Amino acid sequence: MPSLAAPGFDLDLTLRSGQFFRFRPDGDGFLLVDSGRVLRLRPQGDRIEYRGGTAAHVRRLLGLDADHGAALAALRRDPLLAAVLPRYAGMRIMTQDPWVCLVSFVCSSMSNMKRIQGNVEGIARAFGPALEDGIHDFPGPAALPAGALAPIRLGWRERFVAGLFARVDPARLHALAARPFEEARAALMELPGVGPKVAECVMAFSLGFGEACPVDVWIRRVGRRLWFRNRRVPDRRIADRFRATFGRHAALAQQIWFQAVRDGVPVGQAPR
């Protein structure tokens, strides 16, 4: 099996951090589906063995093309984040297919990992072409017959997902990666079911906006605790504070704090 260098990379940590949903354990590694490929990945020390795709695809998907050393150096300048970095330094920001990422995070609203994965896989099985036995690619956008999504059990999200299938132009979606931050964010928020959090998830985890900072209930708690003395403040202020503090590494900082608080790590408080 070919392999590529991945010094300090933690595949398990990165996958369970809620950026990406089309994966499952596979022996002593993981099976992932992305961009029409079934990838089998296995960590081996400071390398990742892979099968089913190209080295370039695997590096890009897993965020291994980024200068992670520079990112960690920037994050260490914040003393509170520096305190949790030893445990989470292997986290990377993934770059997945934007269309699948968009639908996945619209499905994620007020949901959980298991259900989101079930919804995304249900859509793939119902409408996507087969890649291997029991594994389907995710279908591209196209108007679906009325009620076609009902068996997926999306609940109130169904009308938004149906709206995405009917409206999204994949070429225009991919092209947002070259737009200024605010323009890309505003364009995404014109789509059905997309608010600020979903927009910034898509920007961070598929379009390469390292300054994106999705704010959910976990990051809301972290931001209020770190910088606002536990006061209620708008989510945009929290996201902007992450950007002001971490710049183009805000997405990585957010993802590390997101996983840390879910693991029960206590959050410090910045001095006044």
Q: Are residues 83 and 215 in the same domain?
A: yes
Q: Are residues 183 and 110 in the same domain?
A: yes
By three-state DSSP, how is residue 188 classified? helix
- Give the pLDDT confidence score for residue 172 in this predicted structure: 97
Q: What is the mean pLDDT of the chain?
A: 95
The long-range contacts involving 170-173, CB below 8 angstroms and separated by at least 24 positions, are 170/98, 170/99, 170/140, 170/141, 173/98, 173/99, 173/102
Q: Are residues 81 and 140 in the same domain?
A: no
Inter-residue contact 91 to 17 (CB < 8 Å): yes
Give me the CATH number covering residue 156: 1.10.340.30
pLDDT band at residue 269 using 50, 70 and 90 as cut-offs: low
User: End-to-end distance of the chain based on CA atoms, in angstroms?
Assistant: 53
Q: Are residues 269 and 186 in the same domain?
A: no
Give me the CATH number covering residue 53: 3.30.310.40
Range of the domain at 85: 67-94+208-272
pLDDT band at residue 109 using 50, 70 and 90 as cut-offs: confident
Q: Are residues 171 and 241 in the same domain?
A: no
Inter-residue contact 206 to 194 (CB < 8 Å): no
Q: Are residues 115 and 160 in the same domain?
A: yes
What dihedral angle (degrees, nearest 10) is formed by the CA atoms of 69, 70, 71, 77?
Answer: 110
Report percent pLDDT > 70 for the chain: 99
Q: Are residues 219 and 174 in the same domain?
A: no
Q: Are residues 188 and 215 in the same domain?
A: no
By three-state DSSP, how is residue 142 classified? coil
pLDDT band at residue 1 using 50, 70 and 90 as cut-offs: confident
Domain boundary among 205, 234, 261: 205
Inter-residue contact 246 to 253 (CB < 8 Å): yes
- Please provide residue 4's backbone torsions phi and psi, each rounded to the nearest 5 degrees: -140, 155
* Cβ neighbours of residue 243 closer than 8 Å, sequence gap 6 or more: 211, 213, 250
The long-range contacts involving 164-172, CB below 8 angstroms and separated by at least 24 positions, are 164/102, 164/103, 164/106, 164/191, 164/192, 164/193, 165/139, 165/141, 166/141, 166/142, 167/141, 167/191, 167/192, 168/99, 168/102, 168/141, 169/141, 170/98, 170/99, 170/140, 170/141
Domain boundary among 161, 187, 205: 205
Q: Is residue 271 scored above 50 in pLDDT? A: no
Q: Are residues 245 and 198 in the same domain?
A: no
Mean pLDDT over 224-231 rounds to 94
Q: Are residues 241 and 190 in the same domain?
A: no
Domain count, the chain: 3
Angle at 251 between CA 248 and CA 253, to 5 degrees: 95
Q: Is residue 272 scored above 50 in pLDDT? A: no
Q: Are residues 190 and 254 in the same domain?
A: no
Q: Are residues 135 and 190 in the same domain?
A: yes
Q: Write out pLDDT tens, residues 78-107.
A: 999 999 999 999 999 999 999 999 999 999
Name the one residue in this structure whose structure tokens are 């940590």: 13
The DSSP result for 33-89, as a single string, is EETTEEEEEEEETTEEEEESS-HHHHHHHHTTTS-HHHHHHHHHTSHHHHHHHHHHT
Q: Is residue 156 scored above 90 in pLDDT? A: yes
92 φ/ψ sector (left φ>0, alpha ψ -120 to 50, else beta): beta
